[in-house]
Structure 1
Amino acid sequence: MATSRLLRTSAALLAATALLISGCSSGSSSPGAEASPGPTTEAGAQRPAADATLAPLPSATPAGLRPYYDQKLSWHPCGGSGFECTTMKAPLDYADPGAGDIKLAVARKKATGPGSRIGSLLVNPGGPGASAIDYLQQYAPQPAAVRARYDLAAVDPRGVARSEPVKCLSNKQMDRYTQTDQTPDTPAEVNKLISAYRTFAKDCQTRSGKVLSHVSTIEAARDMDVLRAALGDKKLYYVGASYGTLLGATYAGLYPSRVGRMVLDGAMNPAIDSRTTNIDQTAGFNTAFTAFAADCIKHKNCPLGTKSTEDAGNQLSALFKKLDAHPAATGEDRQLTESLATTGVIAAMYDERAWPLLRDYLAQAKAGNGRGLLTLSDSYYERDPNGSYANQMYANPAVNCLDLASAFTTPDQVRAALPSFRKASPVFGTSFAWAALNCAYWPVKPTGTAHRIEAKGAAPILVVGTTRDPATPYDWAKALASQLSSATLLTYEGDGHTAYGRGSDCIDTAINNYLLNGTVPPKNKHCK
């Protein structure tokens, strides 16, 4: 069972093997945002606060923050191949800088030349909860032309990886948690699911109480401005993917005059509430599954049949139902439950290059061997072969549940919303609806609300959207591009999550030209 559905780049998933959505998927507002809770729907969730707008912070640095902005970073070699690392200090609470610090891990790789250095290019792969430093060291040192002109840089956001990480469950507890039935059929199963959510939240509070109230997107965006100053840059140059687009857009809203060149790939829409976000993303994964099914049924050995995409969906649902009653053997102590199988299928939706692997693993699961889908699920949860989990599945709900109020607060609200979720996805709807309840039991009250981000006065920003993106539906990219006053939308007509660096010369050329020369693509440019 997912702690929440993640919004992250496909590269990280494929590297391990080959968003899910959150009950409180990301969004945020600053203490100065002109945002307020909107009216509630019949299911108890907020409607989109489309008229609320994130207000910029004052351009002058407050005296209490000056020591942070003036700090000198002490670098040391790390990670090989010219990478350097350091630790940066930021206030734990920006409203009370004297209350103590939080230490944030930072890494960079200096520009290699030839050509004049443009500045530091900060990268973030999403999550929330994905390690930006890991992403930088594993995937970001390309393309060569960008690497030549920028110091590539990354900071693990507060609560993530090396930056005072949020901690919750033991590895054995997490194993049990991921197997919890997320499509409860009886009151007893509903109670078991709620108990799992409560235990998860309680243990996060016990082990991470200090940081839980201060891991919001607003605070992480403010940390990026401190880093910008510490790196000696007047402007922030940035490439953010998935949730990283929300982080980047939030920075632009808070500091529009400090935006340099900013790429937001696989964009989120900050102006919608949790319930709307969950419904949209449920439909997004359904779109991705339909594309997978359309490809699968062309193969005579498709494990979901060769009749139609609708029949393929029915066969997958039947497999999930079978696993709910009789989990499959995997060759180890853990069995493949319905929840783990669902997570495995979802993981493969992030990148169409995983589709052949998914076909093989679905065939194995139908034959009673759950090892393949378990491997996909483990990659999604970042569980290593030794049984240890990375921090991402803990940081993710910590950020999400602080950024927005829970989509639902009671099981009855979930039940009332089930028809709309099932309409959005007959295959995944039930699971996603119940997953949207997890933030209801979070020990820290949310500090953010849905809001528009306009960033008036910012330099040109490039928003990138993929038409069949499962985790960040294309409509979100269109919405964010329409909100940001200086944005241009670049469209990739294709499958998978995010577009940059995934094989489209058209996309990569347009983004690289923007990063290197500041030239935005023509309006309404589409790539295939």
Structure 2
Amino acid sequence: MSQTHARRARRAGAAVLAAAALLLAGCSGGDGSGKPSGDSSKGGTQAGADAPPLQPLSERTPAALRPYYDQKLSWRSCGMEGFECATLRVPLDYGKPGKGPRDTAHNVKLALARTKPQAGQGRPEGGSLHVNPGGPGGSAIAYLQQQAALAYPPRVREHYSLVGMDPRGVGRSEPVECLGDRQMDAYTRVDQTPDDKKEAGALSAAYGRFAEGCRKRSGKLLGHVSTAEAARDMDVLRAALGDKKLNYVGASYGTYLGATYAGLFPHRSGRLVLDGAMDPSLDARRVNREQTAGFETAFKAFARDCVGQSDCPLGTGSVREAGRRLNAFFAKVDREPLKTDSSRTLTESLATTGVIRAMYDEGSWPALRQALAAGRKGDGTPLLELSDDYYERGPDGSYSNTMFANPAVNCLDAPPAFDDEAEAREAVPSFEKASPVFGRGFAWAALNCASWPVDPTGEPHRIAAKGADPILVVGTTRDPATPYRWAQGLAGQLSSGRLLTYKGDGHTAYLRGSDCVDRAVSGYLVQGKPPKDGTTCR
């Protein structure tokens, strides 16, 4: 797997998600056993059954929005062979759209790219296929140029023009900003498993400084980066591209975005693939606790593999013993951070993030074994590299926008999991029950939206998308970030949902090594025929 795909994978999505570090908190894996929750059909879970339904928008485009829908895109060279780029303008506030694209005070400028048509060929038969790698905060343009356009099967690339648009607040689309690079370095080092009230207060203060930085640096945009608004932006783009329906592949959080689009515009939803699905009906606390169990499932899978090898740094005993050894290692690093080959030391929070980074992809397990072995010998360099990869920290010390956009979207999409330190502290035992290894850190990570300067505009909801074409939902049974039961939940809500199950490890399933999954997804995209509901691949 390429580094680009690994980055895409670890941006676990969710209405309040993310996982490893101070910034994120998110999706889970059922009871932590790795087994499917209930029936493998789309009706396998009733979680969030009381959540209100998402109501579709009118099929008729409001007159005030017509100038946006009627935009003509001006394509230009992207600086990369085989691609062309353009800019789309959308209302900052759909309730107050202003006078159209030329009214720059009331709109947002979105960046997009597409695969360039080959000379002498007209519009592809299938029109456009939109892609989104998740996050929230992942750049769709970067994913398109560095991964999708290369990894998607030829028959898919020939059938469609692949399109990536960075959502509002993300990447090249007026990105949300929060902290400078040195401030981010300090932020990622803050102890996220506080041992006493003083450390808990320091963590809360760090969240507060982060939130205040977002308010100061991002201004009014911070209140308008919700998933619902991003989904409406996609419909404006659909119209500007000349497509009657939206065809789409979304991974992780991208499934939440795609499902939201289907819920708002079921009559304009074409072939939608939602891979590594989120369940929009769950509240933030449940999302975080269930993702905690998901990472425990992933760790057990890693540990089973590790203890069977003679060089396992967590011993050659039981999986439970491996977990105890890892916790002991984290505790030691908490007391005395490890030296690295740079001026930075490896703290417990950075070490934990490095381990969680490797949980997203079983292909990273050998690197994690080596990193833990080095750490036990006093060298924190490999684990720091894994942590930096998770945070998208470059060799020059710069951070991408992903870690800013992620909480900006999550904290707007749903009420916070906890309102204060007391609530987080009280929830720690239930999180530790879900994961003896990661539970404490995940519980405190879920406090990150408590200090957010903008009130949430969304709430948990169910999505039926009545009238939409068949929607293919893909779930992996031992997915750490978007637990399998979430795919069951989403497929069960969607009136036309079809569940495709992959029995395996890692985050998401399409283009990750299963010929069965790849044939089913690609066949649906090209021929329009989804696999039978409940189909299982291994």
Query: Taking structure 1 as the reference length, what is the TM-score of the superposition?
Result: 0.92
Shift of 1:12: 3.5
Aligned to 2:165: 155
What residue in structure 1 maps to residue 226 of structure 2? 216
Does residue 137 of structure 2 align to residue 138 of structure 1?
Answer: no
Corresponding position of 2:78? 78
Is the Cα–Cα contact under 8 Å of residues 19 and 25 in structure 2 kept in the other structure? Answer: no
| 1:433 aligned residue | 443
Asked if 1 retains the 8 angstrom alpha-carbon contact of 2:351 and 2:387, the reply is yes
Consecutive unaligned residues of structure 2, counting only runs of 5 or more, are: 12-17, 28-46, 99-104
Do the aligned residues in 1 keep the contact of 2:9 with 2:508 (CA within 8 Å)? no
Task: Please identify, of 261-270 and 329-338, the stretch whose mean Cα deviation from structure 2 is larger.
Answer: 329-338
Residue in structure 1 matching 2:192, options 166, 173, 182: 182
Structure 1 gap ranges (5+): 1-7, 27-46
| 2:256 paired with 1:252 | no
Cα distance per residue 1:202-225 (max 9 Å; x no partner) = 011000012100000000000000
Partner Cα distance (1:328, 1:192) in 2: 21
Q: Equivalents in 2 of 1:13, 1:388: separation in Å?
A: 21
Aligned to 1:525: 535
The answer on whether the counterparts of 1:76 and 1:86 sit within 8 Å (CA) in structure 2 is yes
Contact 2:84–2:115 (CA under 8 A) maintained in structure 1: yes
Aligned partner of 2:131 in structure 1 is 123
Question: Corresponding residue for 1:503?
Answer: 513
Amino acid at match of 1:137: Q
Task: Name the SS for the 2:187 alignment partner.
Answer: helix
CA distance in 2: counterparts of 1:401 and 1:24, whole angstroms: 11
Question: For 1:85-484, what aligned pairs fall within 5 Å after superposition?
Answer: 85-98=85-98, 100-110=106-116, 117-141=125-149, 142-484=152-494
Tell me if the contact between 1:115 and 1:149 (Cα under 8 Å) persists in the aligned partners: no
Paired with 2:514 and 2:24, the residues of 1 have a C-alpha distance of: 33
Partner of 1:20: 19
Residues 1:445 and 1:49: Cα distance change in structure 2 (over 3 Å): farther
Structure 1 residue 382 displacement after superposition: 0.3
Q: CA deviation at 1:13?
A: 6.2
1:123–1:132 contact (8 Å) kept in structure 2: yes
Once the two structures are TM-superposed, the CA of residue 191 in structure 1 deviates from its matched residue by 1.1
- Supply the distance in 1 between the matched residues of 2:194 and 2:212 (Cα, whole angstroms): 22
Aligned-residue sequence identity (percent) comes to 61
3-state SS, counterpart of residue 443 of structure 1 = coil
Residue pair 2:192, 2:441 contacting (<8 A) in 1 also = yes
Distance 1:139 1:360, change over 3 A: same
**Matches of 2:9 and 2:478 in 1, distance apart?**
18
Q: Which amino acid letter does the alignment assign opposite residue 358 of structure 1? A: L
Relative to structure 1, the CA distance from residue 52 to residue 364 in structure 2 (aligned partners, 3 Å threshold; closer, same or farther) is same
Contact kept? 1:24, 1:404, Cα under 8 Å: no
* Partners of 2:60 and 2:311 in 1: CA distance: 64
In structure 2, do the counterparts of structure 1 residues 379 and 24 end up closer, same or farther at CA, with 3 Å as the change threshold? closer
In structure 2, C-alpha distance between the alignment counterparts of 1:217 and 1:368, rounded to whole Å: 43
Distance 1:420 1:190 in 2: 18
Could you tell me how far apart the structure 2 residues matched to 1:523 and 1:48 are?
22
The alpha-carbon distance between structure 1 residues 13 and 521, as it changes in their structure 2 partners (threshold 3 A), is closer
Report if the CA contact (8 A) 1:166-1:391 is conserved: yes
Cα distance in structure 2, aligned partners of 1:95 and 1:225? 16
How many Å separate the matches in 1 of 2:123 and 2:503? Answer: 33
**Secondary structure, aligned partner of 2:247:** strand
- Give me the whole-angstrom Cα distance separating, in 2, the residues matched to 1:248 and 1:426: 33
- Could you tell me how far apart the structure 2 residues matched to 1:244 and 1:51 are? 21
TM-score (norm 2): 0.90
Distance 1:164 1:25 in 2: 25
> Could you tell me whether the CA contact under 8 Å between 1:87 and 1:103 is conserved in 2?
yes
Query: What is the rounded CA distance, in whole Å, between the counterparts of 1:463 and 1:523 in structure 2?
Result: 9
- Paired residues of 1:23 and 1:437 also in contact (CA < 8 A): no
> Post-superposition shift, 1:186?
1.5
Assess if the C-alpha contact under 8 Å between 1:158 and 1:165 holds in 2: yes
CA–CA distance in 2 between the matches of 1:450 and 1:115? 39
Structure 1 residue 410 displacement after superposition: 1.1
For residue 97 of structure 1, give the secondary structure of its aligned residue in structure 2.
Answer: coil
* Kept in 1: contact 2:10–2:390 (CA 8 A): no
Which residue type is aligned with residue 96 of structure 2? D
C-alpha displacement of 1:295: 0.3
1:24·1:439 contact (CA, 8 Å) conserved in 2? no
Distance 1:378 1:116, change over 3 A: closer
Q: Is the Cα contact below 8 Å between 1:23 and 1:439 reproduced in 2? A: no
Q: Cα distance 1:403–1:458, how it changes in 2: closer, same or farther (>3 A)?
A: same
Hey, what does 1:512 align to over in structure 2? 522
CA distance in 2, matches of 1:81, 1:492: 35
Q: Secondary structure at the match of 1:303?
A: coil
- 1:219-251 C-alpha deviation (Å, 9 max, x unpaired): 000000000000000000000000000000000
Preserved contact between residue 7 and residue 390 of structure 2 (Cα < 8 Å): no
**Cα shift readout 1:64-113 (whole Å, capped 9, x = no counterpart):** 10000000010101142310001100000001001601000010014557
Amino acid at match of 1:440: A
| CA distance 1:454–1:62, change in 2 (3 Å) | same
Shift of 1:50: 3.0
Does the 8 Å contact 1:49/1:273 carry over to 2? no
- RMSD value over aligned CA atoms? 1.7
User: Cα deviations across residues 114-135 of structure 1 (Å, max 9, x unaligned)?
Assistant: 9951110000000000000000
Residues 132, 143 of structure 2: 8 Å contact kept: yes
Map Cα deviations across residues 34-80 of structure 1 (whole Å, 9 max, x no partner). xxxxxxxxxxxxx9463400000001000110000000010101142
The answer (yes or no) to whether the contact 1:9–1:498 under 8 Å persists in 2 is no
Distance 1:165 1:115, change over 3 A: closer
| 1:431-484 alpha-carbon deviations (Å, 9 max, x no partner) | 000000010000000000000000000000000000000000000000000000
